[in-house]
Chain A
Amino acid sequence: MLEKSRKGWNIAANIVMCVLSFLALAPFVLLIIASFTDETVAMTQGYSYFPAKFSLAAYDYIVAQWEMLGRGYLMTIIVTVIGTAVGLIMTALLGYMLSEPNLPGRRVLNFYVVFTMLFNGGLVPTYIMYVSTFHVKNTIFGLIVPNLLLSGFLVMLVRNYFENSIPRDLYESARIDGASEIKTFFHVALPLSTPILATVGLMMGIAYWNDWQNGLYYLSDKGKDLYTIQNILNNINENIAFLATNATTGVNLSDLPTATVRMAIAVVGVLPIMIVYPFFQKYFAKGITMGAVKG
């Protein structure tokens, strides 16, 4: 009887999970199929899971336009790599400093970091400061530095890991052996903290790969050369939106990528994440549960 109820639950759970999985994947499948659809079919019948005619034209266009898209790709990669590397090092170092229990002023410094999670100046002062004091508009710094480089939340995650998951004796014995602080950090703390660094690095990497807001704020038309893939996609969207409201003026319809090309560019944008993600899923799920401990 009881075994039966367990089996019933298993079946019901499997059905619900299949539905959820289907819902999660269906839009991406449509996106991919749409990018392989023949342009005239897409225009007359709309996007469909079963288009009347397939075509590679959208990808031909992408290959032909590779100068623009390739540059966007390169920018995405540069921004992601530099941002994640620098951010991760800074986060790990700051987390390590805060994890030292006897550090004078530790409470004040801790609060200094936590406070940034509570109170935020908001977009207006941040934007004005970055633009008029640091002149990041239309530079690559505008894509890397604002908001994404380091977050108090991730610093706290790393600090907690250094503090709770690495035995203090290990640090002490390294110091007794005469290792400098820098050495202790690189040879003891870092090798033992690969799980947390992988998790934090992954979160930062995805944040940079997906970021379009910094480009939206800090790149104007003059900075078009610095557009990442996300910015290019956003730009296409804005032009479509502009066309819809101002049908007569402004953007020329022929400047816009066609219905299928748009989808193909989007596919090019998500593909790397979809390919890499399953291998890192473990770390990502871990990050979510660790975040659960603290809000």
Chain B
Amino acid sequence: MTIKTKPQAAGQTSVKRGPLKTFLHWLPFYLMGLPGLIYLFINNYIPLAGLQIAFKNFSYSKGMWKSPWNNFKNFEFLFKSKDAFIMIRNTILYNVCWIILGMVLGVAAAILINEVIGKVKKKFYMTVILLPYLMSAVIIAYLVFAYLSPTSGLFTNMLKNLMGKAPDFYQETVWWPFILTFVNQWKGIGFGMILYLSSILGIDPSLYEAATLDGATRWQQHRKITIPLLKPTLIMLFILNLGQIFRSDFGLFYQVPMSQGALFPVTQTIDTYVYRALLKTNDVGMSSAASFIQSIVGFIFIVTANKIVSKVDKSSALF
């Protein structure tokens, strides 16, 4: 790919210079970009050829190209199992809930931090509230474990002391939609707050001044100015996020529930399934089929979301 682009690029010569001279003139630029382009070729483009594995009876000894085709067998097996429905349902439902909740909480937090008087205080709040965003999923799993561990968890013991018994959190599915939602929002609210705050700060201050002169309360100002002016940004981000609906935060779903099989009905997503099938149960066929669906459907979602966004506001779209 990288080799191909060069003659192509040199082909579009300008009028003044000859092809060779043009090529030599731009050569330093191409050489500068080359390492990055090669990396993307390896890391992102070669695996695309590997998508065919989903239609093959893959074995490591025969490799990607020599493994025999088995058409749609992998997909048949995948959809005959209960896993397919569960993981797709979980991925989509969690995503939709979290996108909406994340927006509501993020905007609320952004409006509120904007109301705090005093630069130092603002900066302090921002720094602290963003902290969880920087933590790896492994660390977050330890934090959650400190509260919910069946033997030494803080909450487990508190409940034991108060009510005489406590649920075994890591074995009961009912709690996990709430736990995961809480952890996800806990981790992301600082990010959302800063993101939306930058949009709020972009609103023309004279609008608020005029409203104040007209006697509008702060509450009315937010309802009539802040929210309506944020709306286009929010809709845009909402659509762009919907484009990612087939992807899930592998770390959150894999680490935080500590891989407990009893919890899979509410914690298995496409990403965790693909990983487990590939490396834990060694079922390359099922894994590649699920991975293939995620790639293709994800691509369609992203492109569609971008098409919609670029129709409305070209500068907000990815391409």
Contact of A241 among B36, B260, B302 (CB under 8 A): B260
Report the stretch among B80-88, B89-97, B172-180, B287-295 that lies at the interface. Answer: B287-295
Q: Does B274 contact A (CB under 8 A)?
A: yes
**Interface residues in B104-127 (C-beta closer than 8 Å to A):** 109, 112-117, 121, 123-127
- With a cutoff of 8 Å between Cβ atoms, the chain A residues found around residue B194 in the complex are 285, 288-289
Contact with A along B15-31 (1 / 0, CB 8 A): 00000001000101110
**Interface residues in B22-47 (C-beta closer than 8 Å to A):** 22, 26, 28-30, 32-33, 35-37, 39-40, 42-47
Report the contact-size class of chain A (Cβ under 8 Å from the partner). 35 or more
- With a cutoff of 8 Å between Cβ atoms, the chain A residues found around residue B98 in the complex are none
Q: Does B240 contact A (CB under 8 A)?
A: yes
Contact with B along A208-250 (1 / 0, CB 8 A): 0111110011000000000000100110011011001100000
What residue in chain A is nearest B298 (Cβ atoms)?
Answer: A120
- With a cutoff of 8 Å between Cβ atoms, the chain A residues found around residue B5 in the complex are 105, 108-109, 112
Contact of B198 among A2, A24, A124, A289 (CB under 8 A): A289
Q: Does A292 contact B (CB under 8 A)?
A: yes
- With a cutoff of 8 Å between Cβ atoms, the chain A residues found around residue B303 in the complex are 118
Complex-state Cα separation, A285 to B113, whole angstroms: 14
Complex-state Cα separation, A97 to B38, whole angstroms: 14
- With a cutoff of 8 Å between Cβ atoms, the chain A residues found around residue B33 in the complex are 93-94, 96-98, 109
- With a cutoff of 8 Å between Cβ atoms, the chain A residues found around residue B40 in the complex are 112-113, 116, 150, 152
Query: What is the interface of chain B, defined by CB distance below 8 A to chain A?
Result: 1, 5-6, 8-13, 22, 26, 28-30, 32-33, 35-37, 39-40, 42-51, 53-54, 58, 60, 63-64, 109, 112-117, 121, 123-132, 134-139, 141-144, 146-147, 149, 151-154, 156-157, 170, 186, 189-191, 194-195, 198-199, 212, 215, 217-219, 237, 240, 243, 250-251, 255, 258-261, 271, 274-275, 278-279, 284, 287-288, 291-292, 294-295, 298-299, 302-303, 306, 315-319
Q: With A23-B186, A28-B131 given, can you name 19 additional A-B contacts, CB distance below 8 Å? A: A2-B212, A17-B116, A21-B125, A46-B157, A97-B32, A104-B12, A109-B37, A118-B318, A121-B295, A122-B294, A124-B54, A124-B288, A125-B47, A150-B40, A182-B32, A212-B136, A245-B260, A289-B198, A293-B315
A-B contacts, 7 of them at CB < 8 A, read: A6-B218, A100-B29, A112-B40, A124-B54, A269-B139, A292-B195, A294-B316
